[in-house]
Amino acid sequence: MHRFFIGETGSLSISPGETLALPEKLAHQVHAVLHFNVGEQLILFDNSGTEYVCSVTQSSRSGIDVQVNEQRIGKREPALRVILCQGLLKSARFEFILEKGTELGVTTFVPTLCQRSLSGLEEAGPKKRQRWERIMQEATEQCGRSRVPELQAIQPLARILQELPSRTLAIMPWEEEEGQSLHQILQTLRTDWIPPTDHEPYTVMIFIGPEGGLTAEEVALAKEHGVQIVSLGSRILRAETAALATVANVIYDLEALILGTV
């Protein structure tokens, strides 16, 4: 079943049994691009974690009407909160991370200004931000999630480190780290795991450098703020590979751990 983002929570009131007219751009996509016929089903979601199973009741150039058949809780959100602080990259590579990170389960993306970030990348205007948000929305629709990730404003690495939330596992892969690996950090966590008692989602912050990598000064500053510096292996990875490999390993290991204790 095709899935579509209908708008932020509170923008629409949707209840089972109601008939709903789809917004103009979405109606065009459903009618002119996907050629939905009367009776076909689709899923709408509104970033509240809720999904709505609907049937097309009217389909024409003038608009699309759907009837809401079922309201249900989305089941494909990760069991932990993953914040990816990604050093600014050239557009195509950063957009690739937004798309694939959304598919893997990243909750929040923080474009991060590092010492070796290329000049000019920090000047992301409204059009570029809209493009980034559209990429995340389309990836969310495709992969079955019920919430579009949050995209924060571009921030300097030093500021993010100063405002590091408490009770957060912060990880920074670095190609020059030889003391501990990501695998060791996750294994230790599995051994010493104590589930949260306040029902707040477990939070992991992942710091990935730009194309030129992180400097030794940036890594030292991260250590001062309690960030775990880790190795991803003996091979040097591109920024986008490092980001997605770290996200995938963290979610795979910790989601299974969390789900096994709730």
The predicted-structure confidence for 27-66, as pLDDT tens digits, reads as follows 888 888 888 889 999 999 888 888 999 999 988 888 889 9
Q: What is the pLDDT of residues 81-100, one digit of tens each?
A: 999 999 999 889 999 999 99
Using DSSP, state whether 136 is helix, strand or coil: helix
Q: Within this chain, do residues 142 and 191 fall inside the same structural domain, yes or no?
A: yes
Q: Within this chain, do residues 179 and 253 fall inside the same structural domain, yes or no?
A: yes
Q: Within this chain, do residues 150 and 222 fall inside the same structural domain, yes or no?
A: yes
Q: What is the pLDDT of residues 185-194, one digit of tens each?
A: 998 888 877 7
Q: Within this chain, do residues 108 and 51 fall inside the same structural domain, yes or no?
A: no
Domain boundary among 27, 50, 73: 73
Q: Within this chain, do residues 35 and 58 fall inside the same structural domain, yes or no?
A: yes
What are the residues whose beta carbons fall under 8 Å from the beta carbon of 47, sequence distance 6 or more? 5, 7, 8, 9, 146, 147, 148
How big is the CA angle at 161 (ends 159 and 165), to the nearest 5 degrees? 110
> 108-113 and 63-73 as β-strands: parallel, antiparallel, unpaired?
unpaired
Q: Within this chain, do residues 87 and 58 fall inside the same structural domain, yes or no?
A: no
Structural domains in the chain (count): 2
- DSSP class of residue 149? P
Q: What is the CATH number of the domain that holds 28?
A: 2.40.240.20
Q: Within this chain, do residues 133 and 247 fall inside the same structural domain, yes or no?
A: yes
Q: What is the pLDDT of residues 210-247, one digit of tens each?
A: 998 999 999 999 999 999 999 999 899 999 999 999 99
| Confidence (pTM) | 0.88
pLDDT at 120 over 70: no
Q: Within this chain, do residues 219 and 156 fall inside the same structural domain, yes or no?
A: yes
Q: Within this chain, do residues 55 and 92 fall inside the same structural domain, yes or no?
A: no
Domain boundary among 10, 38, 73: 73
Q: Within this chain, do residues 60 and 95 fall inside the same structural domain, yes or no?
A: no
Residues 206, 85 contacting (CB under 8 angstroms): yes
Query: In what helix (H) or strand (E) does residue 204 lie, and over which residues does it extend?
Result: strand 202-208
Interhelix angle for 182-191 vs 239-259, to 10°?
A: 10
Q: What is the CATH number of the domain that holds 219?
A: 3.40.1280.10
Q: What is the C-alpha to C-alpha distance for residues 211 and 229, in angstroms, rounded to an integer?
A: 18
pLDDT number for residue 143: 92
Length of the chain counted residue by residue: 262
For residue 26, what are the domain limits? 2-73
Q: Within this chain, do residues 29 and 95 fall inside the same structural domain, yes or no?
A: no
Q: Within this chain, do residues 32 and 125 fall inside the same structural domain, yes or no?
A: no
Domain boundary among 73, 92, 117: 73
